[in-house]
Each structure stands twice: as C-alpha cells, then as structure tokens.
Chains A and B, each alone.
Chain A
Amino acid sequence: MLSRPVLLGLAAALLAAAPALAHHSFAMFDRQKEITLKGTVKAFQWTNPHSFIEIEVADPQGVITPYSIEMNSPNNLTRQGWKSSALKPGDKVTVVMNPLRDGSRGGLFVSVMLPDGKVLGDPTRLPGAPVSPQAKAG
C-alpha cells in the first residue's frame, strides 16, 4: 500500500474521456483517483507496448520506495510530441498517476512536472482531444 508520506495529493478526478487505446484494459487502474509522487527518475523505458517511468520516492526518514508509472506506447507519445529524451535518470520530477487498484506500487500516467517546472501530460486524457494536433474528427 501507499505510505502516507508519499501520498501528497489524493483527489477524486472526473472521468474525463474514454481511455486511450492500449494493448490491454485499463481496469487495473483506479481512474477516479489521482496520486502525486515527488521523486527521482530511475529509468524512462521508451518501449512497446507501453512506456514506463520508473521513479524512486524517498520518505522523510530517507526510506526509498520504487514506483512504476505506465504510459501510452512510444508510438502515440511520439505523435503527442514526446521524445525518448524527455526524462533521464536522476531527474527530480513530480508525477501524477491513477493508482493500481490492488495497492501495488504503480499506476497510470497522468502528467509529469520536469525539473524546470514544465508539465508534460497526455493530451488524449483531455475531453475531446485528438491524438495529434492534425487529427480531425470530421
């Protein structure tokens, strides 16, 4: 389970849009909840079928807990403007995720704040948002 020190924010979020297509169901994630993690990037896995941010979160006593945050595929991330260089090991970041329902240390990516304060999100999570700026809905 999530320990209290790392649970900086827990908010009921409105279910915004139909889930972006993934190679599996998103039922394992609680999309009604958002959890914010402040930590250090251990790895940015730019891989199919999903990218992952591996992040290490330290509590006030210095105990480190690893989390895995599942993202869209690099294919869809590329078309949203992402690059494999967006995150690198050692980056201090703040990640928002929808947690796993079973309490395991992971979740579904919502957004990340980079060390320079820039926030990268998943535009397909916004209501009515196209996959790419060029996409039209006719």
Chain B
Amino acid sequence: MGAFGIGTACLAAAAFALSAGATEAQEVHPAAQPKGHYAALDKLPDWGGVWVLEVQRGAPPNPTPEPKGAYKEHYLALKAQADANHGEFPREGRSYCAPPGIPYQVSLAQYPIEFLFTPGRVTVLMEAWTQVRRIYTDGRQHPDDLEASFYGNSIGHWDGQTLVVDTLGLKPGALIAPGMGHSDKEQIAERIHLSPTDPDQLMDEITVTDPEALEKPWSATFRYRRHREWEVLEFACAENDRNPVGASGVGGFKE
C-alpha cells in the first residue's frame, strides 16, 4: 500500500509538471480564432480544384541540386548503389509507406494536391501518402525549439496574389532529391502563384538553402495543372503494403 501510494504521488507530480509546462509554452495564435476573418479570404486568388505536376514543354529544365562535403560523399555512394541496381536508391531504413517529405514531394508527379484557405492558414492536402502541409499565415514565427518532421514547420504570408512560404525543421528522411539529404541548417523558401500567362497553371518557385549540405542554394520551379473536375482520393498506404524494404535498403515483393 505504501509503495503504491508513493508511485501514485510520483505520477501525479509528473502529470502536474507536464501540464504546467504545456500551459506556459502555448500561445493561442490568430488562426485558432478564425471567426470574423472569413470575409478577408475573398481577396485571395482562385486556387480551386486540384493540381497535378506537369512538365511544360519548352520551359528551361530545373537545375540539379549540388551536394557538398560529407553529404556529397554519401550521395555518391548511394548513387553508385542505384546505378548498380537499375536506378533504385536505397531507402536507408524507411518503409515505402513513409512519405518523401519536403521538398522532394513537391517535385513528384501524378498524384494531385489541393489547397484550403482558412483565416490565418493555408492547408495543402496531398493525395500521395495522404500528407498535409499546414502553412500558417497569421503572423506567428517558427518555434524556437522545433522538432524535426517530414514537412517541417511552415510560416507564410501573402505578397499580393503570391503565397510566400518559409519552412524549417525537416527530419533527415525528408530528402531534397533521391539520395540527397540535408543538415539541420536547411531552409526552404517558396513563392507559389498562378502563372501570369495561364490561369490554370500554378507555379511553385522553390529555393533550398543549406550551407552545410549544398554547394549553393538550389532553385527550381515546379508547375502544376489545374483539374477542376477531379477530386482528391483516399490513399491509405498501410492497406496492402506488399513492397517491404530489405536490410540492404532495396524494395522487395511479397508474392
């Protein structure tokens, strides 16, 4: 009984410490108090429908990111393995159902994305891997103590009809491109807007800066085609994952 009592007291003390910490740290941002601000959304551009990456004929090709130092050595080692295995880069311990992360997923074709505008926030819903990017436009800053994630922490603002986004806090598995990792100094800047000449094309001008992993900032433009008639569909990757990643990082096939 005595031991039980001490244990309960310790648990209670721990719970109190956690809740006290949480209360101190949490500030309520404007996006969490949207009422009264919906009318302002009418000023934003029409990004309705869903969007799919397209390669525009005649557009200049995007440059290739240039890794440096240890990141370059690691990339070249993975590239050598890919070249020896029909182009397949090892997955480095991650399931194929793990998302590619930002910025790599921005460059992937075939699966659509859609945008939701709510007060103080733009939400990007991505069909592939059922991923979500939350871009806060309510004036908040990045948290000081970011925990790394596949989509990082995104804040943004509207520069006229252009959404300007800044992203920090990507975890190592969120690649720049196949085999290309990044340091914790990685920062991703995006300017997302409709094409000046084609109202059904959306452009994402992206610049990845990483002084430790890249020789120089990598800038690329990705274009998306609007499909107003489409809907984003369900993608539950765990439903029937028959392609396990083996010890060597190479994908398998369950008969």
Contacts and interface: CB of A to CB of B under 8 A. Distances in A.
Interface of A: 20-21, 23-25, 27-28, 45, 47-50, 52, 66, 68, 70, 73-76, 78-79, 100-101, 104-106, 124, 131-132, 134-138
A49 B96 contact: yes
Contacts, number: 104
Q: Is the interface of B mostly helix, strand, loop or mixed?
A: loop
Contacts of B54: 135-138
A45 B229 contact: no
B38 interface: no
A37 to B, nearest CB: 14
A134 B227 contact: yes
A100 B253 contact: yes
B242 interface: yes
Interface string B38-61: 000000000000001011111100
Nearest to A68: B255
B137 interface: no
A21 B233 contact: no
Interface stretch (B12-20, B82-90, B184-192): B82-90
Given A23-B237, A25-B251, A76 B110 contact: yes
Nearest to B229: A134
A52 B243 CA distance: 12
B201 interface: yes
Contacts of A27: 85-88, 250-251
Given A131-B52, A136-B54, A23 B110 contact: no
Contacts of A135: 52, 54, 225, 227
A24 B243 contact: yes
Task: Name the residue among A27, A52, A104, A138 with the largest chain B CB count within 10 angstroms.
Answer: A138
A100 B250 CA distance: 14
B129 interface: yes
A23 B236 CA distance: 12
Contacts of B129: 23
A75 B52 contact: no
B52 A73 contact: no
A138 B223 contact: yes
Contact of B96 (A24, A52, A136, A137): A24
A8 to B, nearest CB: 20
Interface in B223-251: 223, 225, 227, 229-230, 233-237, 239-243, 250-251
